[in-house]
Structure 1
C-alpha cells in the first residue's frame, strides 16, 4: 500500500479574463503511484467538471501525460482541462521541449498546445464520430430541450472522446432560453449553439449539458467548441475565425476563440489563470 504524501495541487480558471468567471479545473501535479480508484475519488471530491493528474510521458514526443476525470469517470480528452493543465504545468516549472508549444499525451493521443502572450490554444483532435443524429435520439433531445423540430437548423455528432452531440438553433437567445429536462436524457452529452446578431461582441452562444458525466451544465467546454468548430467551419455555417460566449446561464463569463487554418486544423484558444496553489495529500 502506498503511503500518502503531499503533492502539488493547482486550480486553474480557464476561458475567462475575469477571475472566477471561467471554468475551473483541479490539477494534481504528480499522479505517480495514485491508483485509478483514488483518482476517481479525488474527482468526485473536488466536484468540478474535471480533475486531472499529471504523469511522466510514455513517448519522447510528449512533455507529460495527462489523465482526465469527471465526477463519474475518465475521459480520453477534454478541452478546458487540457489548457488548464498546460498552464499549471508551466507555472509549476515545467520546461517544454519546444519554446512555442507544449505537447500533451492523453487517451486521445498527442495534443499540441500553443503558447501565446495571453492565451493558450489547443489543436482540435479528430472526431471519432460525426454525421447527423438518428431520429430517435434527436427526438429525445428536442423533447428534453422543450423545443420543436422546426426550431433545429441542423444537428450533428461532434464526438472527440466525451460523446458529444449538438443542435444548431437559430439564435443565441434561443440557446439561452433553454431550460432542459435532463431526466429525459440522463446519459446524454449534448450541446446547443446559436448565432448572435452581426456586430455583437461574440458570434455564437454555446451551452453544453453533460448529465452522462454528472455535470448538468458545463460553464465552458473546450472539447465541444473544438468539434463544433470543425463541423461549422467545414460546412460554411461559421467563418474561419469566430468567438463563442459560454456560461451565461450559470453565472459565468467565458470567451472561447475558434480558428480554422488553411490546412483544416482547428485551434481553440482561451485564457488560463492559476488561482489556487497548494498541496493535496494522496
Structure 2
C-alpha cells in the first residue's frame, strides 16, 4: 500500500532556507513493526510517527526513528510534529514521547512563526561535546574524524556576549554522518553552557534555546512544508 509522508524542514533561517528534513507520518497508517523499515527507506535523520489527537484534546503521542533505531526523544522531530499538528488544525500543548511529556507552545515573532518545545536536559543523549577555538575550526571539521560509536557535537562562539554559537553534529552510529540541525544537541549544549543560545548549525539552520536551572530547556524553530513524498 502506498504511503504519503509529509516532508518538513525544521529550524530554517528567516528566509526559509536550510533546516533539517523530517518525515511526518500518521501513525495509524503504519504498523509499529514496520516503522523502522519506513524510516530507513526515507533516509532522513529522523522520521516521526504521530497519533492524531482525539477530538477535543490538545495532547497526543509520537514515536521517533532514525534510519537505524528508535529514539526516546529528539528535538527536530518534536518541533516539526508539533508544527504539523497545528497546521492541520489540531494544535497540541503536550506531546508524549518515550522519554516523557514534551511541552508545546506556538509563538509569532517579528522574524517568523516559531514552534517551541520544552524538554528535560537529561533526555538528550550524552554527546561528546567539543569546544573548538574558532568558527573556522567548526566549519573545517571533517566528518570522517567522528565515525566511532558516539554522537559528536562541535561548536564555537560566534559572539559570547550575545549568546550566539556555530555548531555541527556527527552521529554515524545512528546512521547520520552529519545532522543538519539537532534539537537534542541544542538541549545538551544549552544545559552545558547554562544559558540561552542562538545556534547556527550545519549549512545555516537556526535554533533558539532557553535554559532553566530546574533542568528544563526550550528549543524553538521555524518550519517549512516541502510537500508530500510517496512510498510505494
Q: Give the Å deviation of 1:103.
A: 0.5
Q: Are 1:191 and 2:153 counterparts?
A: yes
Q: Are 1:174 and 2:137 counterparts?
A: yes
After superposition, residues 138-217 of structure 1 pair within 5 angstroms as 160-182=123-145, 185-197=147-159, 203-217=164-178
The alpha-carbon distance between structure 1 residues 197 and 111, as it changes in their structure 2 partners (threshold 3 A), is: closer
- Over residues 165-219 of structure 1, what are the superposed CA-to-partner deviations in whole Å (9 max), with x where a residue is unaligned? 211122222211211424x64322111111114688x721111101011110000
Q: Are 1:276 and 2:231 counterparts?
A: no
After superposition, residues 54-93 of structure 1 pair within 5 angstroms as 54-55=50-51, 63-93=59-89
The alpha-carbon distance between structure 1 residues 125 and 15, as it changes in their structure 2 partners (threshold 3 A), is: same
CA contact (8 A) 2:121 2:187 kept: no
CA contact (8 A) 2:58 2:90 kept: no
The alpha-carbon distance between structure 1 residues 203 and 80, as it changes in their structure 2 partners (threshold 3 A), is: same
Q: Give the Å deviation of 1:64.
A: 1.2
The alpha-carbon distance between structure 1 residues 172 and 36, as it changes in their structure 2 partners (threshold 3 A), is: same
Distance 1:191 1:83 in 2: 20
Provide the aligned length of Structure 1 versus Structure 2.
226
The residue aligned with 1:23 is 20
Write 1 or 2 for the structure with the bigger share of strand.
2
The residue aligned with 1:138 is none
Q: Give the Å deviation of 1:113.
A: 1.6
Q: Give the Å deviation of 1:56.
A: 5.4
Q: Which runs of 5+ in 2 are unaligned?
A: none
Larger radius of gyration: 1
Distance 2:160 2:176 in 1: 32
TM-score by length of 1: 0.72
Q: Which runs of 5+ in 1 are unaligned?
A: 97-101, 128-159, 234-239
The residue aligned with 1:32 is 28
CA contact (8 A) 2:47 2:65 kept: yes
Bigger mean CA deviation after superposition, 115-124 or 255-264:
255-264
